Amino acid sequence: MNDWDTDTAGLEARLAEGLLALADAPAPCSGVDAARARAQGLRVLRRRRIALGATAAAVASAVALGGVALAGTTGSAHGKADQPAASATAKASGRHDPLTQGVEFGWLPAGIQQGTIQDTEWDGQAFTAAGSASTPGVMASVQLKGHDFVVDTPSPIHPAMHAVPGPLVHGRPSHWMVDQGGRSYHGGEYILRWYLPDGRGAQVLLAGAKLGEATARATALRVAENLRFPAAPEGTPLPYYVTGLPAGEHLVSVSFVQHTAGLGRPWQVSAAYTTRNAADWQSTAGGEIDWQIAPHVAGKPLMGGDRCVTRDGLDLCVEGGGPALEAVGGLDGLLNKITVLGTDPAHWTTEVNR
């Protein structure tokens, strides 16, 4: 049975958010590679498990702290960014899209950028809408089927983190995750968890430090009540496909991030795979491979990675180590397995893993 190691998560998140803030600064200190700092921050955030149970690291997203008035806001009726439709061919061929839309926002407070980050991990999916200096960030997560999920069990490692009963979410009991004083955990992150009728766990995290507790909790509850969990989630079209990954390569994470202001690019896709067993998060024996893809921008440095190329208007950077990298023929072999599809979303595909 899994724990929620939120103290570790908070430490990793603060580190990552610091790296992201450094990358966003208008004039980084001499010797600082802003693009690499952002890439490192995103990788740390990817490994932060604030969603869907286990003490080891997993996926998450940076969220801005801020305030927004709940009264009088209408938000949006839908949270998905404009993207091409999922391909029926992918479903028919059995080719795999690792990034599916397992959770969707039905309502958000006004002023929030929607569809900013989508993530898939081994055991969960997350969809994040980013805030700004004046709006909170929101993250919704849903457990993938077949994984343990605990909404009300405190961590024996960090007993200060515990659950208290929350409001009903569509008639289902929920819990707030709070500290020993009953306050939101980690300075303004309001975490609401509950079980869906099919037994999967769900979570809403609202970064609302300036909202005040009553408004923040009301906002988080309204977000939760308006989430949609598609029975047959569609794949998210991505600007690349990868051919011939060995059977032993398991998905660690894939994410589609929009509005990456610090990187100076409109979006970025990241993916990571490993040869270690999916049940053994803390093992490093299998190594890992990962890549990042973003539009090429003249004058902007390439993203962090062991090897980078520019193809069809996109920068592609790869890195890795251990058996996972050896299995694909090293960095050159990994580059040769990835085909980028340009900057026009009309040409992107849901037949990502071939």
Lowest-confidence region among 171-185, 246-260, 276-290, 333-347: 276-290
d(CA 249, CA 289): 9
Same domain, 203 and 263: no
Same domain, 139 and 251: no
Task: Please say if the pLDDT value at position 65 is more than 80.
Answer: no
Same domain, 92 and 214: yes
Task: Please say if the pLDDT value at position 3 is more than 80.
Answer: no
The amino acid that residue 31 corresponds to is G
Lowest-confidence region among 127-131, 133-137, 199-203: 133-137
**% of the chain residues with pLDDT over 90:** 31
d(CA 296, CA 309): 10
Domain for residue 31, yes or no? Answer: no
Domain for residue 314, yes or no? Answer: yes
Same domain, 264 and 342: yes
Domain for residue 48, yes or no? Answer: no
Task: Please say if the pLDDT value at position 315 is more than 80.
Answer: yes
Task: Please say if the pLDDT value at position 266 is more than 90.
Answer: no
Same domain, 75 and 212: yes
Task: Please say if the pLDDT value at position 131 is more than 90.
Answer: no
Domain for residue 204, yes or no? Answer: yes
259 φψ region: left (φ > 0), alpha (ψ -120 to 50), beta (else): left
Quote the pLDDT of residue 261. Answer: 54
Same domain, 207 and 331: no
Domain end (from 225, 260, 279): 225
Same domain, 264 and 336: yes
61 vs 227, more confident: 227
Domain for residue 6, yes or no? Answer: no
Quote the pLDDT of residue 305. Answer: 86
Same domain, 186 and 309: no
143 vs 226, more confident: 226
Quote the pLDDT of residue 148. Answer: 60
Domain for residue 292, yes or no? Answer: yes
pLDDT band at 2 (very low <50, low <70, confident <90, very high): very low
Same domain, 288 and 165: no
The whole domain housing 110 covers 62-225
245 vs 66, more confident: 245
Domain for residue 106, yes or no? Answer: yes
170 within 8 A of 107, measured Cβ to Cβ: no
3-state secondary structure the chain: CCCECHHHHHHHHHHHHHHHHHHHCCCCCCCCCHHHHHHHHHHHHHCCCCCCCECCCCCCCCCCCCCCCCCCCCCCCCCCCCCCCCCHHHHHHCCECCCECCCECCCCCCCCEEEEEEEEECCEEEEEEECECCECEEEEEEECCCCCCCCCCCCCCCCCCEEEECCCECCECEEEEECCCCCEECCCEEEEEEECCCCCEEEEEEECCCCCHHHHHHHHHHHHHCCECCCCCCECCECEEECCCCCCCEEEEEEEEEEEHHHCEEEEEEEEEECCCCCCCCCCCCCEEEEEEEECCCCCCCCCCCEEEEECCEEEEEEEEHHHHHCCCHHHHHHHHEEECCCCHHHCECCCEC
How many structural domains does the chain have? 2
pLDDT band at 48 (very low <50, low <70, confident <90, very high): very low
Same domain, 298 and 323: yes
340 vs 274, more confident: 340
18 vs 231, more confident: 231
Same domain, 217 and 288: no
Task: Please say if the pLDDT value at position 40 is more than 60.
Answer: no
Cα–chain center distance at 37: 17
Task: Please say if the pLDDT value at position 59 is more than 50.
Answer: no
Same domain, 104 and 207: yes
Burial of residue 208, with CB atoms counted within 10 A of its CB: 0-12 exposed, 13-18 middle, 19 or more buried: buried
Specify the CATH number for the domain of residue 260: 3.30.200
d(CA 67, CA 70): 9
Domain end (from 225, 252, 274): 225
Segment 225-254 shows an average pLDDT of: 90
Burial of residue 343, with CB atoms counted within 10 A of its CB: 0-12 exposed, 13-18 middle, 19 or more buried: middle
pLDDT band at 96 (very low <50, low <70, confident <90, very high): confident
Task: Please say if the pLDDT value at position 31 is more than 80.
Answer: no
Q: Which of 270-305 are b and which e, b meaning 16 or more Cβ less than 10 Å from the residue's Cβ?
A: bbbbbbbeeeebeeeebbbbbbbbbbeeeeeebbbb
Domain for residue 56, yes or no? Answer: no
Segment 68-88 shows an average pLDDT of: 33
150 vs 60, more confident: 150
Segment 275-297 shows an average pLDDT of: 76
Quote the pLDDT of residue 150. Answer: 64
Domain end (from 225, 248, 279): 225
Task: Please say if the pLDDT value at position 35 is more than 60.
Answer: no
Quote the pLDDT of residue 325. Answer: 94
pLDDT band at 242 (very low <50, low <70, confident <90, very high): very high
